A and B are shown apart, each in its own frame.
Chain A
Amino acid sequence: MQAALVDYLIIGIYFVFVLGIGFALKKQVVTSEDFFLSGRSIPSWITGLAFLSANLGAIEVMGMAGNGAEYGIMTAHFYWVGAIPAMLFLSIFMMPFYYGSRIRSVPEYLKLRFNESTRAFNAVSFAIMTVLMSGINMYAMAIVFNLLLNWDMTASILVSAVVVLAYTALGGLTSSIYNEVLQFFLIVLGFLPLTIIGIVNIGGWQGLSAQLPAGFSHLWSHTAGVNNPMGIDWLGIVSGLGFVLSFGYWCTDFLVIQRALAAKDLAAAQRTPLIAAFPKIFFPAITVLPGMIALALVPQLGHNPSDPHMRYDMALPLLLAKYYPSGMLGIGLTAMLASFMSGMAGNITAFNTVFTYDIYRNYFAKNKSDGHYMMVGRLATAGGIFVSIFTAYFVMSAPSIMDYMQTIFSFFNAPLFATFLLGMFWKRATPSGAFVGLVCGTLAALVQFVLTGQGMLHYSSVMAGNFWRASIAWLVCFLVTIAISFVTKPKPLEELTGLVWGTTVESGSAVLVWYKRPTVLAVLILVLTIVCNLIFW
């Protein structure tokens, strides 16, 4: 199926709306706080959906479908063992520290809790990570538009770059958040028919399972050993993915936390990850399932790495081309375009905040005017997008988007999570311990990556390597931070108020009715997640 005029019309309507939202919000962005944190005034239903949608980039939409084709239903571990428990932990235990300390970025928390060096290390590594991640979205969009619209790869990348630049530079974080919510609904309504048509035509879950290789339709039952599609046992899944990678991403990645910091009060900030967690439980239906359906329909998918149109990541576009007529194809393509731009904008808005507040203002130009920092934020947006164009080409070297992304996370987020855990829950953790631990954890991941590349370490799949690398990086950071903390001087207790568990923190749930309390919502979400694990055991 090739796109027709009506499909271009739908894509055109979408561009008009995203740019229109940017222009409508431009006059409301007056201060740098408006630009970088939306003036901390956005209702929780919007920040909640934006929290979810900032992660709904190419990784989620194309990457999870690609992983569904590569590893089967085990991909749902990213949701039901990974994301959901981590989002609950963030809401209940970590958000009071993030929101209560009135920080503007995650590295800023590290400065308050530890020292300037720890903040600088995290700010620089986060800036590198966001442009690498943004490049994934550009690359994904380029191959989809190349396949379905015959657009030139470079032209696709440039069109998306210009549109994201326009609306994020105009309306800052608010514009990005508003477009992310629009994109959320578009992605759900754009891809839901694909799953319904695919699963009905293949004969339901039973029919699908019968057409897939053994182990593709079970979450846990083949994980006593490594003889399963992902090539990893239950311990690796629980520790590497469930604990380190997922908690590392959802609890420390400023890209998602920034959405919650834009909420109007602590209760709304705590509800943000919980509101996002409800739809997240059901997202495998429109991400993982289409990938599995695509594999059943096109069994040669992923078998020829040299053919870019037959990569696992192409599972979703191939289904779109198979099932959608012109009209719905336009909706599906726009949803895909929206997801790429959402992922890119999420990374770029996080990048411009960290760059401006944590790098530029701190090391290059202190005490400048508010307008000056807002202008630098806009320039950082342009610079971040420009660098992302080049990082888009790195993705081609990985077997799939998800493999590439988890490799990045194992370097940056995994050790950082150990730093945050100790920082938030152990008063004795010292600035020197945190800095040395973080550097050693990152180096441990790097050494392991190099050894794997040289053939000195071997894992049954790229993903298994990512999970174990993340676990080791986390453990090294955790142990080194503890060891160094015992022999160095901790910060005085009065400097840790509101930053560490056990010091005074404003409570956001005391005056709420029971069904709005974060703990009640969290328990409900946890029960639903356990049920999902049991159904697909």
Chain B
Amino acid sequence: MLDLRFPIGLFFCINSLVLIAVGFFQPQGTRLGDWVLNLNLTWGLVMAVFGAFMLILYYSGKNSQSE
């Protein structure tokens, strides 16, 4: 059966790259209280961490199955 952690991890990694690229090349400010936040860049990084975490879980599960 397809391990769901792989498509989830890949999906969020790809989208995080898109957000980080947009945040880097076309920065736009979003007000957050007294701060101005580059939302695409910030949330792109959060999503990258989540996507990488899912991929790590997938590969570690795959390795432990093959051992």
Which A residues lie at the B interface, using CB under 8 A? Answer: 6, 9-10, 13-14, 17, 20-21, 24-25, 28, 41-42, 46, 174, 178, 181-182, 185-186, 189, 193, 196-197, 200-201, 323-328, 330-331
Contact = CB atoms under 8 A, between A and B. Distances in A.
Interface string B3-43: 01001101110110011001100101011110001011001
A10 B40 CA distance: 13
A178 B18 contact: no
Q: Is chain B's binding surface mostly helix, strand, loop or mixed?
A: helix
A41 B4 CA distance: 14
27 contacts: A6-B22, A13-B15, A14-B11, A17-B7, A17-B11, A20-B7, A21-B7, A24-B2, A24-B7, A46-B4, A178-B4, A182-B11, A185-B50, A189-B50, A196-B32, A197-B31, A197-B39, A323-B30, A324-B39, A325-B30, A325-B40, A327-B18, A327-B23, A327-B40, A328-B40, A331-B15, A331-B47
B33 A200 contact: yes
Contacts of B15: 10, 13, 331
B56 interface: no
Contacts of A197: 30-32, 37, 39
Nearest to B8: A182
A197 B37 CA distance: 10
Contacts of A17: 7, 10-11
Given A24-B2, A182-B11, 7 more contacts: A6-B22, A13-B14, A14-B11, A181-B4, A185-B50, A327-B19, A327-B40
Given A17-B7, A327-B19, A328-B19, A200 B32 contact: yes
Nearest to A188: B50
9 cross-chain pairs, A with B, having the tightest CB-CB distances, nearest first: A327-B22, A325-B28, A327-B40, A200-B33, A17-B11, A24-B2, A327-B19, A328-B39, A6-B22
A193 B22 contact: no
A189 B47 contact: yes
A34 to B, nearest CB: 10
A201 B7 CA distance: 35
Contact of B19 (A20, A178, A185, A331): A331
A328 B33 contact: no
Interface of B: 1-2, 4, 7-8, 10-12, 14-15, 18-19, 22-23, 26, 28, 30-33, 37, 39-40, 43-44, 46-47, 50
Contacts, number: 82
Nearest to A21: B7
B31 A201 contact: yes
A200 B34 CA distance: 9
A331 B4 CA distance: 20
Contacts of B47: 189, 331
Contacts of B7: 17, 20-21, 24, 178, 182
Nearest to B54: A185
B12 A6 contact: no
Contacts of A28: 1-2
Nearest to A49: B4
B22 A326 contact: yes
B30 A178 contact: no
B1 to A, nearest CB: 6
Contacts of B11: 13-14, 17, 182, 186
Nearest to A204: B33
Contact of A193 (B12, B18, B43): B43
B65 to A, nearest CB: 14
Given A10-B18, A325-B28, A328-B19, A189 B46 contact: yes
B40 A25 contact: no
Contact of B33 (A25, A185, A201, A331): A201
A263 to B, nearest CB: 14
Contacts of A9: 18
A185 B39 contact: no
Contacts of A10: 15, 18
Contacts of B22: 6, 326-327
Contacts of A42: 1
A235 B27 CA distance: 52
Contact of A6 (B1, B4, B14, B18): B18
Contacts of A328: 19, 39-40, 43
B38 to A, nearest CB: 9
A114 B15 CA distance: 51
- Of A28, A41, A328, most buried by chain B (CB within 10 Å of CB) is A328
A22 to B, nearest CB: 11
A14 B15 CA distance: 9
A48 to B, nearest CB: 12
B10 to A, nearest CB: 8
Nearest to B37: A197
Contacts of A24: 2, 7
A25 B2 CA distance: 7
Nearest to A323: B30
A150 B65 CA distance: 49
Contacts of B12: 185, 189
